[in-house]
Amino acid sequence: MARVALTHCASYSLPEVERGLREVITGALGGNGPSLDGKRVLIKPNLLAAREPERCVTTHPAVVGAAVDYFRERGAVVSVGDSPGGAVRGVERVWKNTGMLAMAESRGVDLVNFEAGGWRERPVGQRTYAIARALESFDLIVSVAKFKTHVLTLLTGSVKNTFGCVPGLHKPALHLKHPRPNAMSKVIVDVFSLVRPWLNIIDAVESMDRGGPSSGRVVKTGLLGASSDAVALDTVFAALVGLDPMKVPVIREAAGRGLGEAAIERIDIAGGRLEEFGVTGFEIPSNWAFGLIPGILGSALTRFLWVRPSIQKEVCTGCRLCADMCPAGAISFDTGAGTVNAGLCKSCLCCHEACPEGAVEVKMSRLARLVG
């Protein structure tokens, strides 16, 4: 039986986070787990974009810092690493804006840029993926994900956090090639199967709903969770916000491959009953239209049935980060604000994730809204 530990955590004050993190880690591992003396531990947060912690786009530095302290106390040699979104503009900007730089400097911990060490091609069936070589330097990986909605995959948590082990522009290239929810979920689970964290932690002290993973609403959910089973942890958090876990394509795909437990009745909850941690008023976006377009209805309907990003001129600051991250080259800046070329756009939503101002919204055609 899979085991998921939950606890309430009211704020990001370091004592509160340290207390909560200790509870869920010991609850998940049934104690402190194996001896970590001399073990090289990589803590992998979600650093989707160069956003400040209060914007709830990235894992909060207080949670990452508390995890660093916890594993160091147990003798581990700890580093923090990711392939941050927007690193094309310089990874230092991401470290600084997300609070990771200050956290690392205060503790003397190394920050590992997955791009710097290159990558190794690794196969899953007939497909291959670029996986950061930096991972090979560590004995154990600890995923510290941020709990958010996702306009394509509904939710993003522990399993999807491993997708950040694909470095640099390899990620948007995969988004471009696999823009539909089920197809992209297969890719995410492929990567997860190659990078299986030893422990998974979810930062849900504050979460994001509605238009996540970068342009949604900040919601105070007041929770921390941990498990050695990433699928079980994601399953529990889906249930906590009132969503059938099997409707989340990443969870369904991972469970179907036997990579974790997705049946609530076979998950042991440490820390209390599941009902004690339920979240109300959490709004999940709809992703149904991405599954229809453009293929199965035929090209004749694509001019009438579409879903794609649109840049709000009054919000756009002209930073051009969306254009940098667009693998289809569909965004131009002929004027002060960006414009999406509908003929080139593949609806991969890399621009939606990358925009630091939330200026990229997802729009549907009238027919798509009627069908929905």
Structure tokens at 89: 């503009």
Distance CA(68)–CA(62), nearest Å, equals 10
Can you give the pLDDT at residue 361?
84
CATH number of 288-371: 3.30.70.20
Using CA atoms of 158, 161, 165, 166 in order, give the dihedral in degrees to the nearest 10: 130
CATH number of 2-277: 3.40.50
CATH 3.40.50 location in the chain: 2-277
Mind listing the pLDDT tens digit of every residue in the chain (372 residues)? Answer: 999 999 999 999 999 999 999 999 999 998 877 789 999 999 999 999 889 999 999 999 999 999 999 999 999 999 999 998 766 667 899 999 999 999 999 999 999 999 888 999 999 999 999 999 999 999 999 999 999 999 889 999 999 999 999 998 898 889 888 888 999 999 999 999 999 999 999 999 999 999 999 999 999 999 999 999 999 999 999 999 999 999 999 999 999 999 999 999 999 999 999 999 999 999 998 876 666 555 544 455 556 556 788 888 888 988 888 888 888 888 888 878 889 998 888 778 888 888 888 888 887 766 555 544
CATH 3.30.70.20 location in the chain: 288-371
Can you give the pLDDT at residue 293?
53
- The reported pTM is 0.90
